[in-house]
């Protein structure tokens, strides 16, 4: 058996967007992922579904794996021929014990590679609005381990020298020892009035920052626990004008997405960019129809149709997949007038090189009727591939105008396999906002929690709907809709939520 390889990958300080492109590439192809408790679980979505995932323990857990055992685990998996992604918080070589793991691999004759990550030492202060260097203030910065190996006979840190080095001090893992460390700096001459800050869970929506001075920061931040970064120096005062992250409109808001897991990424990214903590509660799953024959039959007879109307990205994907299964490609659509309900649906066509002819101004099914204008539709044949359960407004309106309409099932939406325990976990603590991007997500959420409990479950949360059709479904369930997107897109929904919170702050 060929020997594998270990990649020591820096996962960054917490924000999943700070994973490097190379780190993502390795995570996507790894056979085994070994990750620390500080690694954001959202990063694991990039791992292969069949990849082995091994957590080496959580802070304060008796089951936390010792470093020697982690080293041995990496060696064993590589000797078994696996590509191993050792995913480590921050940067592997900046207080990440990556040097110890690399040395163990080298001694065992295992091939390895280091993939640097964004270090918490500079990224976490940046998210707190603190530049660790500034041309007008300081050009030096010192990174310090605030928690040394307890098995050392004596500290290797020269606090007397550090107290007199000008510039910024950045302390890692120092919360527990902060009273002793700050006192040592003052004892050796660092001014007690020196600005200081402790940043807990930096770069995440739950980030918390305590500001003070070297003399009082230990007492002010005594309630904070790890993970935290401590910054000492005049640059801390710049936070007053540079604190950008905590001023994002959705900072600290917990927002639930009810789309399918496969389709949550666009809305998740839009909301995360506005500072939100995003949780995914998949209320629908996409499944193939019970039979492909109706759709396949329509594809065999494409030449009979004049129009192809698609009202969802799922409809596009399944239609094009069956087109390919029939041995045909986008050239078979030549001569058809193609309509898409909105930009996301049109984008799926564009990925296949297909140009959309009709794109309504309002991204609802009725918008397609408006886009058709005053065209004479008598005798025209329309093909509409869609979900099993959908509104019949468009087919009926077309038939009233003399068109021949063939509606075929391209996919079906079903309840996902989501246990009550998992649902309760996702809803704890209760989200500040819960989003619904279709009538199906609303109806299925009610089925998952129980229609008699849906109002109770959403009490206290801002309910955000992508558009009037979804809002109508929610109101039928007795749910008050607080936010409705003016533009029925993921970006439009995110903007509407942000506007609601900006309005409340004003």
CATH code of the domain containing 212: 3.30.950.10
**With contact defined as beta carbons under 8 Å apart, do 162 and 185 qualify?**
yes
- Give pLDDT < 70 ranges for the chain: 1, 58-63, 148-155, 506
The pLDDT value given to residue 59: 55
Cα 430 to the center of its chain, rounded Å: 18
pLDDT at 414: 87
CATH at 382:
3.40.50.10090
424 and 275 in one domain? yes
Structural domain of 402: 287-414
pLDDT at 1: 65
My answer on whether 291 and 280 are in the same domain is: no
Chosen domain end from 380, 398, 414: 414
Task: Let me know whether 98 and 166 are in one domain.
Answer: no
Q: How many domains does the chain have?
A: 4
**406 and 454, same domain (yes or no):** no
Distance CA 47, CA 82 (A): 14
Both 185 and 276 in one domain: the answer is: no
Do residue 159 and residue 224 come from a single domain?
yes
User: 310: which strand partners?
Assistant: 340
Report how far Cα 280 is from the mean position of its chain's Cα atoms.
Answer: 9
273 and 317 housed in the same domain: no
pLDDT value at residue 361? 81
How big is the chain by its Cα radius of gyration, in Å?
A: 28
What pLDDT is attached to residue 315? Answer: 93
Q: Are 291 and 398 contained in the same domain?
A: yes
In SS3 terms, 329-384 reads as CHHHHCCCEEEECCHHHHHHHHHCCCCCCECCCCCCHHHHHHHHCCCCCCCCEEEE
What CATH number should be reported for the domain holding residue 83? 3.40.1010.10
Is residue 384 domain-shared with residue 468, that is, in the same domain? no
Burial of 236 (0-12, 13-18, 19+ CB in 10 A): buried
Place of tokens 């940067």: 91
Q: Are 228 and 175 in contact (CB under 8 A)?
A: yes
Last residue of one domain, picked from the residues 117, 145, 178: 117
Full-model pTM = 0.84
Domain boundary among 82, 117, 152: 117
Same domain, 230 and 307: no
Burial of 136 (0-12, 13-18, 19+ CB in 10 A): exposed
Is residue 477 within 8 A of residue 441, CB to CB? The reply is: no
Judgement on whether residues 20 and 73 belong to the same structural domain of the protein: yes
Instruction: Please provide residue 292's backbone torsions phi and psi, each rounded to the nearest 5 degrees.
Output: -85, -10
User: Helices 265-273 and 490-505 sit at what angle, rounded to 10 degrees?
Assistant: 30
Q: Taking a C-beta distance cutoff of 8 angstroms, is the pair 159, 48 a contact? A: no
Whether 195 and 263 map to the same domain: the answer is no
């Amino acid at each position: 058996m060929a020997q594998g390889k270990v990649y020591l990958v820096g996962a960054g300080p917490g924000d999943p967007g700070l994973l490097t492109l190379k780190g993502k590439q390795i995570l996507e192809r790894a056979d085994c992922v070994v990750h620390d408790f500080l690694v954001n679980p959202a990063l694991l979505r990039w791992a292969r579904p069949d990849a082995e995932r091994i957590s080496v323990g959580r802070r304060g857990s008796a089951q936390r794996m010792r470093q020697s055992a982690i080293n041995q685990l990496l060696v064993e998996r590589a000797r078994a021929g696996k590509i191993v992604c050792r995913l480590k918080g921050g940067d592997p070589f900046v207080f990440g014990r990556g040097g110890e793991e690399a040395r163990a691999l080298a001694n065992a004759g295992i091939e390895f590679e280091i993939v640097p990550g964004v270090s918490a030492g500079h990224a976490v202060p940046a998210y707190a609005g603190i530049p660790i260097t500034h041309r007008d203030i300081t050009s030096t910065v010192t990174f310090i381990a605030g928690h040394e190996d307890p098995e050392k006979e004596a500290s290797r840190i020269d606090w007397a020298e550090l107290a007199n080095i000008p510039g910024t001090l950045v302390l890692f893992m120092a919360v527990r020892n902060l009273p002793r460390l700050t006192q040592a700096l003052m004892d050796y001459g660092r001014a007690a009035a020196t600005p200081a800050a402790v940043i807990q869970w930096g770069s995440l929506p739950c980030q918390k920052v305590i500001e003070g001075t070297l003399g009082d920061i230990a007492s002010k931040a005594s309630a904070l626990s790890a993970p935290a970064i401590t910054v000492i120096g005049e640059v801390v005062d710049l936070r007053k004008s540079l604190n950008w992250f905590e001023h994002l409109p959705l900072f600290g808001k917990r927002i639930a997405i009810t789309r399918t897991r496969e389709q949550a990424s666009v809305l998740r990214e839009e909301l995360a960019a506005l500072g939100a903590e995003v949780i995914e509660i998949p209320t629908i799953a996409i499944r193939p129809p019970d039979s492909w024959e109706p759709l396949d039959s329509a594809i065999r007879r494409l030449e009979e149709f004049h129009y192809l109307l698609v009202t969802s990205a799922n409809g596009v994907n399944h239609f094009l997949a069956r087109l390919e299964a029939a041995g045909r490609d986008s050239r078979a659509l030549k001569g058809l007038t193609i309509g898409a309900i909105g930009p996301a649906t049109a984008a799926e066509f564009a990925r296949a090189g297909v140009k959309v002819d009709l794109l309504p101004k309002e991204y609802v099914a009725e918008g397609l009727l408006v886009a058709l204008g005053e065209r004479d539709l008598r005798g025209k044949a329309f093909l509409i591939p869609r979900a099993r359960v959908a509104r019949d407004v468009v087919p009926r309106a077309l038939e009233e105008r003399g068109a021949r309409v063939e509606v075929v099932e391209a996919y079906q939406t079903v309840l996902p396999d989501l246990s009550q325990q998992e649902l309760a976990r996702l809803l704890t603590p209760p989200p500040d906002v819960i989003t619904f991007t279709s009538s199906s997500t609303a109806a299925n959420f009610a089925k998952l929690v129980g229609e008699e409990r849906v109002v109770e479950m959403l009490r206290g949360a801002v309910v955000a709907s992508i558009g009037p059709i979804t809002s109508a479904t929610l109101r039928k369930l007795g749910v008050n809709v607080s936010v409705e997107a003016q533009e029925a897109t993921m970006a439009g929904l995110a903007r509407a939520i942000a506007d609601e919170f900006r309005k409340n702050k004003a």
